[in-house]
Amino acid sequence: MKIGNIDLGERPVLLAPMEDVTDIGFRLLCRRLGAAMVYSEFVSCDALVRMVNKSLQKLEVCDEERPVAIQIYGKEPGPMAEAARIVVEQAHPDVLDLNFGCPVKKIAGKGAGAGMLQNVPKLLEITRAVVEAVGADVPVTVKTRLGWDHEHKIITTLAEQLQDCGISALTIHGRTRSQLYSDQADWTLIGEVKRNPRIHIPIIGNGDITSAERAVEAFERYGVDAIMVGRATFGRPWIFKEITEGLKSEEERRQGAGTDDKVTDGTHPVLSLDWKVDILKEQVLTSVARLDERRGIWHTRRHLAASPLFKGIPDFRQTRIRMLRAETVDELFEIIEHTRELLHQMEQNDHVD
């Protein structure tokens, strides 16, 4: 599937934009592990227009992570168009994405992000202004939700209106703003948008993709052109490999394309326990190199805390607390190595059982 001229291949799996998560280090890692395209954290258009340093830093991209999308948010056409020009000039992103889905109060409550869903004429005006400002240079896309609340699930009409503004793809998170992150994502309306014969732009489905099985369902049952994975990447960036492997058809497998299970990447077979532990360590080191020791470790804590790798280890509570409190890389890696041994013991016990 293609966004503008960017070819993302068959059934692409994308890394969702996530504030405080999808910095350049994490994006690079996810690309290496199979994400077909990665998204930046969202960037405030007002801050960009004012040339605020912290926001300008979010525009840093490197060639190895391409294709990469930069996402901006705001609530007025003028600053959004100006910010779009700044993004294109400074970062040369492959895609420029507009955020009309952020539910958090300090954004949506002020009318930006998902708040735009309460002012569709303005949302469309912004989209047209940005497409006009940069659409000739970079494909403009939109990421949004089903609507503001249960009574206003406007996505089917909105998708057509957005397409008419000239966007090149639409990402739909299958929840309303009111739902925040509660309940299960509802993919039925995403499927409905995709089946609408008037819609010809790619539709990217998002919400609760946590396994290859869910990914297959998203493509086969709801017919989306791509899927986007967010929270399931926490402490599990290899989910891209798990999903892309899962999506490979039986036929491809039989034709000998094979899975990566036995392939060695560095010292360990891909997707083996040791390989996963090494990936998490690499993530810590990348983060430390980019920030500093204290902040780098802090930045990866969310991933260590959420990692499914450490779930189910007997009597792990104290070790886990130590892991999340570690302040130096040496201390943290010693705990991770101890955990690796525990995992090996578990694996051996499983085989004996």
Ligand X SMILES: Cc1cc2nc3c(=O)[nH]c(=O)nc-3n(C[C@H](O)[C@H](O)[C@H](O)COP(=O)(O)O)c2cc1C
Distances (CA, A) of 287 to 78, 172, 310, 348: 35, 30, 20, 32
Least separation, in Å, of the C-beta of 319 and ligand X? 25
Nearest to 72 by CA among 50, 98, 46: 98
Q: Which is nearer to ligand X, 18 or 86 (CB)?
A: 18
Least separation, in Å, of the C-beta of 174 and ligand X? 8
Q: Which is nearer to ligand X, 210 or 319 (CB)?
A: 210
224 phi, psi to nearest 5 deg: -65, 160
Nearest to 11 by CA among 45, 39, 35, 42: 35
Q: Which is nearer to ligand X, 186 or 278 (CB)?
A: 186
Residue identified by tokens 């020791």 is: 293
Q: Which is nearer to ligand X, 73 or 275 (CB)?
A: 73
Q: Establish whether 62 is a catalytic residue.
A: no
Least separation, in Å, of the C-beta of 258 and ligand X? 28
Check: CB of residue 84 under 8 Å from CB of residue 57.
no
As a whole number of angstroms, the distance between CA 143 and CA 145 comes to 7
**Helix (H/G/I), strand (E/B), else coil: 273:** helix
Q: Judge if the upstream peptide bond of residue 67 is cis by omega within 30 degrees of 0.
A: yes
Q: Taking CB positions, which residue lies at the least distance from ligand X?
A: 230
Least separation, in Å, of the C-beta of 7 and ligand X? 23
Ranges of H-type helices in the chain: 24-32, 45-49, 53-57, 77-91, 105-108, 120-134, 155-165, 188-195, 212-220, 239-247, 250-252, 273-290, 293-306, 317-325, 329-352
Q: Which is nearer to ligand X, 27 or 340 (CB)?
A: 27
Residue identified by tokens 């490979």 is: 248
Least separation, in Å, of the C-beta of 2 and ligand X? 21
Residue identified by tokens 């052109």 is: 225
Enumerate helices (H) and strands (E) in the chain, giving the number of each: 15, 12
As a whole number of angstroms, the distance between CA 14 and CA 227 comes to 6
Contacts with ligand X, residue ranges (CB under 6 A): 16-19, 21, 41-42, 71, 99, 101-102, 143, 173, 206-209, 229-232
The β-bridge relationship of strands 95-100 and 140-145 is: parallel
Exactly one of 30, 45, 102, 165 is catalytic; name it.
Answer: 102
Buried b (16+ CB within 10 A) or exposed e, 207-228: bbbeebebbeebbeebebbbbb
Query: Which residues are tagged catalytic?
Result: 102
